[in-house]
């Protein structure tokens, strides 16, 4: 399991991304961060703290559960019902610059589902995408605006993003699918 990013590299990547967000948007006015459950929420929270340090402004942060928007629910064999989590966007997204945040970008299907979900909450001026890791293998024409690290992978590999808020440590590693025991940290979509 090669480690692609240790804690210090994750911190540097997020700091760089925060500066890029400020530069591209000419500040933090009208910005809002929305993290995709699970680890995207923690990445969004960290970016919000960094944006506050850089600009002195509090950027509103929300959480998005995309479970009901996934395109693979109909194709799964009958089994346990999907677990729904709370979406919490306590602000209007109308005419805002929404920065959608996730840990791993893979096929693009999670982001497609997130875009569908966000549109149900209003009409943002623009939606930008932040991912900590882009592992390639897109199935949909989706590209991140801000990337912490590009990590080329084989299809038989998985990218595990471990964050201290969920896992007690910060680390990004590549694993072979047959080596994965706990797939809760895997970037699958």
E strands of the chain, at which residues? 3-6, 31-36, 61-64, 97-105, 126-134, 146-150, 157-162, 171-176, 186-187
Query: pLDDT tens digits for 121-168?
Result: 999 999 999 999 999 999 999 999 999 999 999 989 999 999 999 999
| Phi, psi angles (nearest 5°) of residue 46 | -65, -40
C-alpha span between 92 and 77 (Å, rounded): 37
What is the fold, at CATH topology level, of the domain defined by 3-71+88-187?
A: Rossmann fold (3.40.50)
Higher-pLDDT residue of 179 and 7 is 7
Q: Which residue in the block uniquely carries the two structure tokens 């992978």?
A: 153
Question: Residue 87, Cβ neighbours under 10 Å: how many?
Answer: 18
pLDDT score of 1: 76
Higher-pLDDT residue of 4 and 72 is 4
- pLDDT over threshold 80, residue 185: no
Query: pLDDT tens digits for 28-84?
Result: 999 999 999 999 999 999 999 999 999 999 999 999 999 888 766 655 555 566 667
Strand partners, 158: 175
Q: What is the dihedral of CA 48, 46, 146, 87, to 10 degrees?
A: -70
C-alpha span between 147 and 133 (Å, rounded): 6
Q: Where are the alpha helices (DSSP H) in 26-150?
A: 39-55, 109-119
Write down the pTM of the prediction.
0.88
The mean pLDDT of the chain is 91
In this structure, what DSSP letter does residue 106 have?
A: S
pLDDT score of 77: 54
pLDDT score of 74: 56
- Measured CA to CA in angstroms, residue 181 lies from 6, 79, 157, 176 at distances of 20, 20, 13, 10
C-alpha span between 85 and 108 (Å, rounded): 21
């Amino acid at each position: 399991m090669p480690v692609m990013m240790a804690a210090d590299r994750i911190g540097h990547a997020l700091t760089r991304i925060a500066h890029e967000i400020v530069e591209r948007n000419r500040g933090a006015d009208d910005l809002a961060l929305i993290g995709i459950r699970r680890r995207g929420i923690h990445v969004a929270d960290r970016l919000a703290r960094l944006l506050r340090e850089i600009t002195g402004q509090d950027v509103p942060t929300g959480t998005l559960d995309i479970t009901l928007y996934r395109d693979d629910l109909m194709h799964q064999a009958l089994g346990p019902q999907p677990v729904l989590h709370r979406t919490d966007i306590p602000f209007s997204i109308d005419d805002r610059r929404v920065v959608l945040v996730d840990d791993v970008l893979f096929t693009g299907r999670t982001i497609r589902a997130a875009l569908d979900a966000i549109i149900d909450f209003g009409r943002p001026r623009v939606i930008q995408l932040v991912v900590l890791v882009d592992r390639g293998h897109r199935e949909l024409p989706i590209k991140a605006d801000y990337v912490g690290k590009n990590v080329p992978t084989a299809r038989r590999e998985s990218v595990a993003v471990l964050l201290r808020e969920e896992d007690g440590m910060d680390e990004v590693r590549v694993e072979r699918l047959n080596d994965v025991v706990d797939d809760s940290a895997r970037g699958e979509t």
